[in-house]
């Protein structure tokens, strides 16, 4: 892995926070704790991150994006979600500790953003923008993103013990069928 000094320092801070999460809750961890654990100054921490929430956000995007980032298509998003679930199971301590954190830089925000973009891309790839208004596309994208990320977050909050494959299969069926039925129905009504 080829990293710049800045990326390496960010990686070390993120690793330090993950190690601290094995023994402390996220809310109990301070910037001082992270800096001491990583054997660096608080100034070094603040040079790279605004706060501990920024570290969490960086971890989400650097760990999750490689897993689901190239699966943003109707054919492949389910395999990306399965891979993400298995990755989270392997890193259960970290993800169960931070899943309850809500707000800016939260896991729910990260997942919402990804799945909203995914659904929007699926609609555009099916030429849905020809028959749906931008407002309809936004509403459909947010609706499905809430459902997809909500199901995933519930699974995490319940301890990630159930095999996620069956749940992902149901979500795949819902997403692949319903959106396209809506688009086709709209096209049928607009064609002469």
Burial zone of 43 (CB within 10 Å; 0-12 exposed, 13-18 middle, 19+ buried): exposed
Q: Check residue 180 and give its pLDDT.
A: 59
Burial zone of 129 (CB within 10 Å; 0-12 exposed, 13-18 middle, 19+ buried): middle
CA distance 18 to 160: 18
Q: Select the CATH number that applies to the domain covering 5-49 from these four: 1.10.10.60, 1.10.3720.10, 3.40.50.300, 3.30.230.70.
A: 1.10.10.60
Residue pair 98/26 in contact by the 8 Å Cβ criterion:
yes
Q: Check residue 178 and give its pLDDT.
A: 62
Q: Check residue 100 and give its pLDDT.
A: 79
Q: Locate CATH 1.10.357.10 in the chain.
A: 60-190
Q: Check residue 87 and give its pLDDT.
A: 92
Q: Locate CATH 1.10.10.60 in the chain.
A: 5-49
Q: What is the pLDDT along the chain (192 residues), one digit of tens a residue?
A: 556 888 899 999 999 999 999 999 888 999 999 999 999 999 999 999 999 999 998 998 898 888 887 766 677 788 888 999 999 999 998 888 888 777 776 888 888 988 898 888 888 877 778 888 899 999 999 998 999 899 999 999 999 988 889 888 888 877 766 665 666 566 666 655
Q: Check residue 183 and give its pLDDT.
A: 63
Q: Check residue 45 and give its pLDDT.
A: 97
Residue pair 132/123 in contact by the 8 Å Cβ criterion:
yes
Question: Cα 68 vs. chain centroid, distance in angstroms?
Answer: 8
Flag whether the pTM goes above 0.85: no
CA distance 150 to 159: 14
Q: Check residue 78 and give its pLDDT.
A: 85
What is the CATH code for 60-190? 1.10.357.10
């Amino acid at each position: 892995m080829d990293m710049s000094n800045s990326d390496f320092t960010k990686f070390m801070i993120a690793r330090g926070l993950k190690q601290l999460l094995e023994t402390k809750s996220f809310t109990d961890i301070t910037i001082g704790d992270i800096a001491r654990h990583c054997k660096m100054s608080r100034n070094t921490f603040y040079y790279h991150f605004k706060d501990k929430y920024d570290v969490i956000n960086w971890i989400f995007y650097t760990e999750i994006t490689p897993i689901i980032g190239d699966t943003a298509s109707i054919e492949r998003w389910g395999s990306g979600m399965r891979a993400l679930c298995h990755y989270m199971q392997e890193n259960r301590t970290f993800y169960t500790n931070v899943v309850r954190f809500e707000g800016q830089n939260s896991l729910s925000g990260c997942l919402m953003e990804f799945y909203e973009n995914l659904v929007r891309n699926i609609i555009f790839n099916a030429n849905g923008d020809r028959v749906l208004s931008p407002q309809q596309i936004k509403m459909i994208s947010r609706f499905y993103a809430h459902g997809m990320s909500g199901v995933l977050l519930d699974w995490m909050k319940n301890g990630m013990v159930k095999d996620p494959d069956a749940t992902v299969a149901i979500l795949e069926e819902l997403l692949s069928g319903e959106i396209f039925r809506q688009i086709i129905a709209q096209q049928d009504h607009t064609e002469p």
